[in-house]
Amino acid sequence: MNRKKLFGALFLASMALAACKKTDPIDETIPEPVVAENISSFKEIASVDLGNTTAAEISAYDPSTKKLFVVSNDGGAKVEVLDLATYPTILKLRTLTYPNNAGINSVAVNSGLLAIALDGANKQGNGDIVVLKTTTLEEVKKITVGAMPDMVTFSPDGTYIISANEGEPNDEYTVDPVGSISIINVKNNYAVKTLDFSGFESSKAALVAAGLRIYGPNASFAQDIEPEYVAVAADSKKAFVTLQENNAVAEVDLVGGTITKIIPLGVRDISLAENAFDVSDKDGKIQLGTWPIKAFYLPDAISYFSVGDANYLALANEGDTRAWKGYDEEARVKSLKLDATKFPTAATLQQDANLGRLTVSKAFGDTDGDGDYDELYAPGGRSVSILNASTGQLVANIGKDLEQRVIDAGKYDDERSDNKGVEVEAVTVAQVNGRTLAFIGMERVDMVATYDVTIPSAPKFVQLFATGDAPEGVLFVKPKDSPNGRSLLVVSSEEDGTVRFYQPDRL
């Protein structure tokens, strides 16, 4: 190479190096190096027991300090700080306590910052997002947000912190705060904008017709909405928020600071073979079958992912209902009066061995207002749905196959057949060995299932493995960020207070 060409090459290399040193985020379109790992071989490598029930709920990992932050409500609002620097040895460094807050819900990490979502002293009052440095754990900022910030996350580029403020009512249902979404601009001195859904009041009829649930007693549209969980697009411009009790997803323009649309999710038709449920805990068997019912999806966790030029959302269709002392929508099918025309075999259907013990919503189904039920709606899709993020259209449903895999493994809890089945609580989608995998946490069978969703319309089962009791949080750490350079799945389990660490074999 002559001197001119050598100088030119060195100049271009130095410019590229300088560009990499900028504080701007890494271009998400550049694929990360593939680490050769067996996608079907995740197994437990390490674990830590943090206490009793609710001692381990949601976790977040900081690759720069190798610290794991775990939400705990065991004996008060706390964050347990764990050191993974000598992984697989796990060391507990300290406990952050928040005695003046009614509870802690979520944590998130980005670029050396830890965000913590806290309920206010009064759960129906405004909550807080507290931001700390992950290095020193000193407080950087405390930001007031809406009532009951249930989930907090950063945009990938670190510009925004987003919280889904659920705004649940009190147990008597006499105080029902507005559900909202807060957008905090980290780079603008943590300026916050809290958005509610009052602007959609005029669209209520059309949204309800499309499958949105608005039904809280004496609640306005804005009060009835209950944001649950947040996923952010790779370009940090949009957020997608599940509205669990409302059976919908909201799309948020982070740059403009507006809620752009509500996507109602509709229902699963359980009379179709591909949507079969086990509906009875008193039939003496575990068997998926078809029934003349429908099911609201009611998603909890949500994960955003891309395949090629298309973007998708994965929804964990858990099925939470409104079951409060002041208002309870739940009922057994056998307690309802069924329309004789729509259900000509009602007496048989309402036997315990059939639909009798199935939990349904008594808030929906009397379509003609005559006091009997023309439709039956079960809470929870018992599945993971994959939606096109641009259109909101359903691409695939991982449901019947998921539950059948658990049944075949001898792990299905038949006592839950009448209510939520395996209870899909968590989902996160990540790349392992060049494949796109959905990790699905199931609360009632204490397991995680992995599905290959590289072709989103045709998910393929990969693996099923045991977790702690009632997995609540499922966190994936990329090989480049993990303490030992391998893919790492962190599962925090609510009932036994454990955090367990899973990794695949190298190829």
- Residues 6+ away with beta carbon under 8 Å from 284: 353
Give CA–CA dist 330/309, Å, rounded.
42
Residues with Cβ within 8 Å of 44's Cβ and at least 6 positions away in sequence, in order, are 465, 500, 501, 502
- Choose among 463, 350, 360: nearest CA to 405: 463
* Statement: the pTM of the whole predicted model exceeds 0.75: yes
Q: Which amino acid is at 469?
A: D
In whole angstroms, give the CA distance from residue 127 to residue 71: 16
Give the C-alpha separation, 307 to 312, whole Å: 8
- Tell me how many degrees the CA angle 316-203-236 measures, rounded to the nearest 5: 50
- The residues facing 163 across adjacent strands are 152, 182
Longest dimension (CA), the chain: 92
Burial category of 306 from C-beta neighbours within 10 Å (exposed 0-12, middle 13-18, buried 19 and up): middle
- 472 backbone dihedrals φ, ψ, rounded to 5°: -110, -45
What pLDDT, on a 0 to 100 scale, did the predictor assign at position 14? 41
What would the two tokens of residue 403 be? 């539950």
Residue 348: how many CA atoms within 13 Å on its side-chain side? 5
Q: Which tokens in the block code for residue 335?
A: 């307690």
d(CA 312, CA 393): 10
Query: pLDDT at position 22, please?
Result: 36
At 30 the pLDDT is 62
C-alpha torsion 410→280→387→178, nearest 10: -120
Please give the distance of CA 133 from its chain centroid, rounded to a whole number: 25
The residue length of the chain stands at 507
d(C-alpha 449, C-alpha 383), whole Å = 11
d(CA 368, CA 14): 72
pLDDT by 10s per residue, the chain, length 507:
444 343 344 333 444 434 343 333 444 456 788 999 999 999 999 999 999 999 999 999 999 999 999 999 999 999 999 999 999 999 999 999 999 999 999 999 999 999 999 999 999 999 999 999 999 999 999 999 999 999 999 999 999 999 999 999 999 999 999 999 999 999 999 999 999 999 999 999 999 999 999 999 999 999 999 999 999 999 999 999 999 999 999 999 999 999 999 999 999 999 999 999 999 999 999 999 999 999 999 999 999 999 999 999 999 999 999 999 999 999 999 999 999 999 999 999 999 999 999 999 999 999 999 999 999 999 999 999 999 999 999 999 999 999 999 999 999 999 999 999 999 999 999 999 999 999 999 999 999 999 999 999 999 999 999 999 999 999 999 999 999 999 999 999 999 999 999 999 999
Cα separation, 404 vs 261, whole angstroms: 35
- What does 81-131 look like in DSSP terms, one character per residue? EEE-TTTTS-EEEEEEE-TTSS-EEEEEEETTEEEEEE--SSTTSEEEEEE
Could you count the other beta carbons within 10 Å of the beta carbon of residue 9?
Answer: 11
Inter-residue contact 51 to 492 (CB < 8 Å):
no
Q: Tell me which amino acid residue 356 is.
A: G
Q: Report the side by side order of strands in the sheet with 104-110.
A: 104-110, 113-118, 126-133, 139-147
pLDDT in the model for residue 33? 86
Tokens at 120, concatenated: 């206010």
Q: What are the tokens at 52?
A: 């009793």
- Sheet containing 488-493: order of strands: 43-49, 498-503, 488-493, 471-477
Q: What is the DSSP string of 137-149?
A: --EEEEEEEEE-E
Give the DSSP letter string of 276-344.
Answer: -B---SSSSS---B--S-EEE-----EEEEEETTEEEEEEEE-----B-SS-B-EEEGGGSPBPTTT-T
Helices (H) and strands (E) in the chain, counts: 5, 33
Q: Domain spans of the chain? A: 265-466
